[in-house]
Amino acid sequence: MWRTRTTSFGSWPVLGKSLHPARLQDLVTNLREISRLEAGVIGRHDLLNLAVLVDGELDHRQSKIGAVRRFSSGVMVYGERIGLTRLLHNLMDNAERHARSVVMVTVEHRGDAAVLEVYDDGSGVPREQREIIFERYARLQDACAKDTGGSGLVLPIARQIAEDHGGTLTLEDSPSGARFVARFPPASRVINDRGSSRWPREAPTRRNPSSQTPPTGSGRLAGGRPPGPARLLSSRPSILGPGVKPR
């Protein structure tokens, strides 16, 4: 059965009564994420191994549907760990909600893009409604029938995070089910572009005027701890391991 459009506005007055505490916490988290994104708050960006990040987050998820993992090694992105983690969990929440029996997560290079793909074998979405699902608070009839406590925020937030990283998030063709594909630019290109107006600058770190300034080039005092209450961020990006073996 195809999912047809409806909205969840009518369910908001009783939302708190119908949600399990864990789902209510997810809603609060998504509302906070919207506020953070709209305020233009940009956290620390690092050079991240996308497969390592995704693999670690999936290990900590609790779900009745185990995810099939297909990872390529050496898929690097330059991004904000918190934002990319939220993008992944939102896509997984959506996939697990609609899957019949299978969720598949893929991390690989496609052309020069780093790709994160989440597939579920559910009922799918008709082509003419593939953009509607990325509108805030818009939900499809099939989603409402399966889950009255949804917010219609999961996919819009995921897309905005992808775009804030210079990438895209789209729902693409598949023989069955739904296949969400997030594409990110090569880490090397992003690092080169960060000095230009094409890439948002990180929010400056607030510094206590009375705190001691560390030696130039180190960013940290001996022992690895920054001085004073202001936690200064190291200028060197961190690399999370050499990659993972495909599963």
- What CATH code is carried by the domain that includes residue 63? 3.30.565.10
* Stated pTM of the model: 0.66
Q: How far apart are CA 224 and CA 227, in angstroms?
A: 10
pLDDT for the residue 116? 98
Q: What is the pLDDT of residue 80?
A: 94
Judge contact between 182 and 167, C-beta under 8 A. Answer: yes
In three-state secondary structure terms, 47 is: strand
The answer as to whether 185 is a domain residue is yes
pLDDT at 139: 64
The count of residues in the chain is: 247
33 in any annotated domain: no
What's residue 88's pLDDT? 97
Q: How many domains does the chain have?
A: 1
CB 124 within 8 A of CB 110: no
3-state secondary structure of 79: strand
Structure confidence at residue 137 (pLDDT): 73
Considering the domain boundaries, does residue 43 fall inside one?
A: no
Return the CA Rg of the chain.
20
Q: Is residue 95 part of a domain?
A: yes
In a domain, 96, yes or no: yes
Q: Is residue 131 part of a domain?
A: yes
So what's the pLDDT on residue 167?
Answer: 97
Predicted pLDDT at 66: 85
The predicted pLDDT at position 21 comes to 67
Q: What is the mean pLDDT of each run of 10 residues along the chain (247 residues)?
A: 40 47 67 70 88 97 91 96 94 94 97 97 92 80 51 88 95 95 93 60 43 42 40 35 44
For position 28, what pLDDT does the model report? 74
Say how many CA atoms lie within 13 Å of 96 toward its Cβ: 17
In a domain, 66, yes or no: yes
Q: What is the pLDDT of residue 166?
A: 94
Q: Is residue 38 part of a domain?
A: no
Range of the domain at 54: 5-10+49-190
179 DSSP β-pair partners: 119, 172
